[in-house]
Structure 1
Amino acid sequence: MTVTAPQGFEAAGVAAGLKSTGKPDVAVVVNRGPLKAGAAVFTSNRAKANPILWSQQAIRDGVVEAVVLNSGGANCFTGAFGFQTTHETAEKAAELLGTSAGDVLVCSTGLIGTGDEVFRAKVLAGTAEAIATLSTEGGDDAAHAIMTTDSVPKTSVYQGEGWTIGGMAKGAGMLAPGLATMLVVLTTDAVLTAAEADGHLRAATRVSFDRLDSDGCMSTNDQVTLMVSGASGVTPEPEAFRFALTEVCTSLAVQLQADAEGASHDIAIQVVHAASEDDAVEVGRSVARNNLFKAAIFGNDPNWGRVLAAIGTTQAAFDPYAVDVSMNGVRVCSNGGPDRPREEVDLTPRSTSVLIDLKTGDASATIYTNDLTHDYVHENSAYAS
């Protein structure tokens, strides 16, 4: 049931005609619980879509009663008309739900720079239809409705002691921080204040979605929303809830990685013994964004020299001539020089691990990425056609 697994939530997903395939493309998630608390984090891209601009204003009071999401159009760089479309979407939802438009967040995903009267009419009609079909069984339909180039829906549920967290996500390309290119809705029936929800959400996204760097491209539409119904009546221990929320976010992030456009390898780059966590993240991200490294993994080539070349461009504290590098459990580089023969490394499995030991401190971090494939180039060369 995904986002409707926690008590107090209803959802729906309908086909409004935004996608040429006729598949569901408008989703609504509604909080029916005694609490209407919420929190959200957004893309750090300076170029933000109209739904982001709207939702950033709406979330300021920490109240979220509903989220309306559409695929089939990003509503980004569509000018005043596009912002008015977002505004009217929130107003339509609020009218039908008997709430305030300011308590409705809006999310969109799809092609940038498209949007007209037909798009607006379909979004508004889809919003009305979705609200008319809301149910506690509608989570799966909602998860399908937010998909674009995704091949499968992404969902996750965590059962706590008397409380639950549910989540759904979409994303298969432009996966880079600032949250990865994705829409995520998280729900919980735990009792939390808006401030507590915000703190937990930022802590969880920092080590999950923000560590996903599939192709180095940052979206204009990223949004992760946490809705709190309080319907369980249970106030969890803060550490327990934060752990659970991080587990759900990490699960969704890994599902996004596994469905990345055209990828043939899912790569976990673990950096250990760094001087600081920031250093570990910088080093891991430098490898994740290195096209030569990513192309080598696509060719099943354990070219550890490309790892050292990539991390040498960072400002992190380490001696490049003391670094160890292992690939899929085989240490191919020790103290900046060759170690085990490359032939011992098997890179044919989709799951690929790279371990970088900086030998400088006690901090660590893991960055998730994918290889660079012919299919990725082909799919993104024809995305708008």
Structure 2
Amino acid sequence: MSVTNAAGFVAAGVVAGLKSTGKNDVALVQNLGPNKAAAVVFTSNRAKANPIIWSQQVIGDGIVEAVVLNSGGANCYTGAFGFQTTHATAEAVAEGLGVSAGDVLVCSTGLIGVGGQDFRDKVIGGVATAIPALNDDGGHDAALAIMTTDSKPKESVVQGAGWSVGGMAKGAGMLAPGLATMLVVITTDAQLGSADLDAALRSATRVTFDRLDSDGCMSTNDQVSLLSSGASGVSPSLEVFTAAVTAVCADLAAQLQADAEGASHNISIETINAVSEDDAVEVGRSVARNNLFKAAVFGNDPNWGRVLASIGTTDAAFDPADLDVAMNGVWVCRNSTPAADPATVDLKPREVSVTIDLKSGADRATVWTNDLTHAYVHENSAYSS
């Protein structure tokens, strides 16, 4: 049920004709309250789509009545007409639900440059279809509607003591920090204000979505929204609530990684004994973005030299002559020299782990990525055709 698992939420996913496949492509999630508090985290890309620009204004007062999402067009770099389309979409939702357009978040995903009159007409038509279809079992249909190159919907639920958190996500490529080419809606019936929601969401995304670096590319449309209905009447501690939101985000991030375009390996890169968490993240991200390393994993080649070369490009504190690297639990490099025979490393399974010991401190962090495959190149070379 994902976003409708929490009490006080209804959702719908409908066909508006944006996708050539004829599948669901417009989703709507409504918060029935009594609480309407929300928090949102946006892409850090300076090139922002019209829905991001709109939604950044909406969340200013911490109140959100509904979220409308479409796949099949990013409505990015479509000029003033595109922003007017975003505004018109929010107005259509507001009129149908009897709320203010200034309390409606708008999200779009798809090809940049798509957002003309035909796009507008189909999105507005989709809104008109979605409003009467809203129901408390519509979460799955909504999750289907936001898919683009995804092969499957992404949904997650965590139960608290008398309250719950549920979420849906889309994303299968351009997964990089500052969120990813993903749209995420998380709902809860816990009773919390917008400030607590914001703190919990930022804490959760920092260690989940922001460390998913599938291909080093950052989208223009990334948005993670957290809405509270307060319908349970329960107010958990911020610590307990943050843990639940983090669990949902981690689950959704893992599903995004597993569905990355064309990938044949899921790679977790854990950097240990770093001077700081920032150093550990920097090292892990450098390896995650090394195409030579990613290509080696695709070829089942435990080429640890490419790991050390990536570490060397960072500003992290370490001794280049004293680094250890393990792949799938086999320490193939000790003290920056060959150790165990790389032939003993089995990289055929989809799950691959890399451990990097900087021997410089006590902090650690994990970054997640995928290998670089022929299928990834093919899919992205033909994305707009």
Q: Give 1:202's aligned amino acid.
A: R
Q: Which runs of 5+ in 2 are unaligned?
A: none
Q: Report what 2:56 is aligned to.
A: 56
- Quote the Cα distance in structure 1 between the aligned partners of 2:93 and 2:320: 56
Q: Give 1:347's aligned amino acid.
A: L
SS at match of 2:83: helix
Q: Report what 1:254 is aligned to.
A: 254
Give runs of aligned pairs for residues 204-283 of structure 1, distance below 5 A: 204-283=204-283
- Quote the Cα distance in structure 2 between the aligned partners of 1:269 and 1:138: 36
The answer to whether structure 1 residue 79 and structure 2 residue 79 are counterparts is: yes
Give runs of aligned pairs for residues 261-340 of structure 1, distance below 5 A: 261-340=261-340
- Quote the Cα distance in structure 1 between the aligned partners of 2:172 and 2:136: 27
- Quote the Cα distance in structure 1 between the aligned partners of 2:88 and 2:180: 27
Count matched residues: 385
Q: Which runs of 5+ in 1 are unaligned?
A: none
Displacement of 1:308 in angstroms is 0.1
Q: Report what 1:170 is aligned to.
A: 170
Q: Give 2:171's aligned amino acid.
A: G
The answer to whether structure 1 residue 22 and structure 2 residue 17 are counterparts is: no
The answer to whether structure 1 residue 98 and structure 2 residue 98 are counterparts is: yes
Q: Give 1:380's aligned amino acid.
A: N
Q: Give 1:295's aligned amino acid.
A: A
- Quote the Cα distance in structure 2 between the aligned partners of 1:104 and 1:197: 17
Displacement of 1:114 in angstroms is 1.5
Displacement of 1:320 in angstroms is 1.7
- Quote the Cα distance in structure 1 between the aligned partners of 2:237 and 2:57: 30
TM-score, structure 1 as length reference = 1.00
Q: Report what 1:39 is aligned to.
A: 39
- Quote the Cα distance in structure 2 between the aligned partners of 1:267 and 1:14: 35
- Quote the Cα distance in structure 2 between the aligned partners of 1:258 and 1:50: 29
- Quote the Cα distance in structure 2 between the aligned partners of 1:117 and 1:17: 13
Q: Give 1:169's aligned amino acid.
A: A
Q: Give 1:139's aligned amino acid.
A: G
For residues 325-375 of structure 1, the C-alpha deviation after alignment (integer angstroms, 9 at most, x for no partner) is 000010000010111001110000000000001011011100000000000
SS at match of 1:70: strand
Displacement of 1:118 in angstroms is 1.0
For residues 134-163 of structure 1, the C-alpha deviation after alignment (integer angstroms, 9 at most, x for no partner) is 000100000000000000000000000111
- Quote the Cα distance in structure 2 between the aligned partners of 1:296 and 1:79: 42
Displacement of 1:27 in angstroms is 0.1
For residues 286-332 of structure 1, the C-alpha deviation after alignment (integer angstroms, 9 at most, x for no partner) is 00000000000000000000000001000000112111100001000
Give runs of aligned pairs for residues 108-147 of structure 1, distance below 5 A: 108-147=108-147
Displacement of 1:33 in angstroms is 1.6
Q: Give 2:103's aligned amino acid.
A: D
Q: Give 1:370's aligned amino acid.
A: N
RMSD value, Cα: 0.4
Q: Give 1:30's aligned amino acid.
A: Q
For residues 186-243 of structure 1, the C-alpha deviation after alignment (integer angstroms, 9 at most, x for no partner) is 0000000000000100000000000000000000000000000000000001111111
- Quote the Cα distance in structure 2 between the aligned partners of 1:72 and 1:88: 17
Q: Give 1:77's aligned amino acid.
A: Y
- Quote the Cα distance in structure 2 between the aligned partners of 1:117 and 1:180: 27
The answer to whether structure 1 residue 88 and structure 2 residue 88 are counterparts is: yes
TM-score, structure 2 as length reference = 1.00
Displacement of 1:180 in angstroms is 1.2
- Quote the Cα distance in structure 2 between the aligned partners of 1:40 and 1:220: 15
SS at match of 2:367: strand
Displacement of 1:128 in angstroms is 1.3
- Quote the Cα distance in structure 2 between the aligned partners of 1:172 and 1:222: 12
> Percent of pairs identical after alignment?
73
- Quote the Cα distance in structure 1 between the aligned partners of 2:372 and 2:102: 42
Displacement of 1:49 in angstroms is 0.2
